[in-house]
A = this chain, B = another copy of it.
Amino acid sequence: MAGRSLPLYRMMSYHLGWVDENGAPVESERPLRTRGALALLAAKAVSGEAEPALRHAVAVEMVHNYSQMHQDVQEGNTDSSGRPSVWWVWGPAQAINAGDGMHALARLALFGLREQGVPTDSVSAVLRTLDEATLQLCEGSYLDTVFQDRLTVGISEYLDMASRASGALAGCAARLGAMAAGEEDSTRLEALTEFGTKLGTALRISTDYRVFWLDGDRDTGVQGRVLSKKKTLPVVHALENAAIRDKRALGEVYAQRVLDPNDLGKVASILDEAGSKGFTEQTLERLSGEALSALERARLPSDHARALRAVLEFVGTTN
């Protein structure tokens, strides 16, 4: 954003946690940049060096953050990573602009690779991979929104949505990191993409889990997800598997126009009863297992693959 003076860019910097509303630098706790980290670690795992993937990491994070800014508008989240969201400060119209601008900047960041001597063919392959993941992200966001207005959603439908809304970009991040490091073997690229996709899907479900069962970590952003009636895996499971009486109670809670925060406890106990907590934990374990198998198929030098496993363990943590 350096060298761009329009306040539009200040909104972007604000969203990224770099500055306050007036543009003054802030020392805030920065949110985890899981997708950017994935790109850097994948590059390191392939070649021993993370640096060639720096621009890729930035581009992937920008796509993630443009999407977050739009999502905050779409879901009416007044909080984003513990601060007032961009639309809450500058209005929804400007948050849409700031997101669109960051979407364009994400790719412009990649054109700089040419100046670093990366062949145009590689830059073009990188851009295409990112654009395809971005389109999947939009598809996932579409489904996510549709599901909010539907009472029942199938578990497989839900997992497909999570794989597009959250898995695709993480898969793209791991792939771009490997591409940045010069990896050309398609088996390894596919394996790393799958690793990232499973990990990204787990990221979404891990957030779902923390809505109900990690009081200590429960932040307003996570709670906003329930209040906006965003479907979460435990609720999807319970609506399929709870006792009829409990399904009805759950249905009544979710049929309200706006969810009451006090209903959260009621919902959580129905979920416990229906085995939805256990099911969500098992799903996270299964996704972690699949991610690990994919990582093994990538046949990376074991000391380099360790960091990627560590990211997975971090994401997969449910307690």
A73 lies within 8 A of chain B by Cβ? yes
A306 lies within 8 A of chain B by Cβ? no
A-to-B contact residues, CB < 8 Å: 6-8, 67, 70, 73-75, 91-94, 96-101, 103-105, 107-108, 111, 114, 120-121, 123-124, 127-128, 131-132, 134-135, 138-139, 141-143, 145-146
Q: Who on chain B is nearest to A107 by CB?
A: B131
A135 lies within 8 A of B101 (CB): yes
- Give Cα A197–Cα B208 distance, bound, in whole angstroms: 48
Q: Name A's interface SS.
A: helix
A120 lies within 8 A of B124 (CB): yes
- Give Cα A105–Cα B103 distance, bound, in whole angstroms: 13
- Give Cα A98–Cα B145 distance, bound, in whole angstroms: 12
Q: A108-B135, A135-B108 are in contact. Are A94 and B142 (CB under 8 A)?
A: yes
Q: Who on chain B is nearest to A105 by CB?
A: B135
Q: Which residues of B contact A8 (CB under 8 A)?
A: 138-139, 142
- Give Cα A75–Cα B93 distance, bound, in whole angstroms: 8
Q: Which residues of B contact A105 (CB under 8 A)?
A: 135
Q: A74-B92, A114-B124 are in contact. Are A135 and B104 (CB under 8 A)?
A: yes
Q: A75-B93, A138-B100 are in contact. Are A132 and B120 (CB under 8 A)?
A: no
- Give Cα A223–Cα B137 distance, bound, in whole angstroms: 35
The 8 Å CB contact of A145, one of B93, B120, B121, B135, is: B93
- Give Cα A260–Cα B189 distance, bound, in whole angstroms: 59
Which residue of A91, A139, A141, A142 has the most chain B CB atoms within 10 A of its CB atom? A142
Q: Which residues of B contact A132 (CB under 8 A)?
A: 104, 108
Task: Please list the 8 inter-chain residue pairs (A to B) with the smallest Cβ-Cβ separation, ordered nearest first.
Answer: A74-B93, A101-B138, A8-B142, A104-B135, A104-B134, A120-B120, A97-B142, A93-B145
- Give Cα A50–Cα B132 distance, bound, in whole angstroms: 28
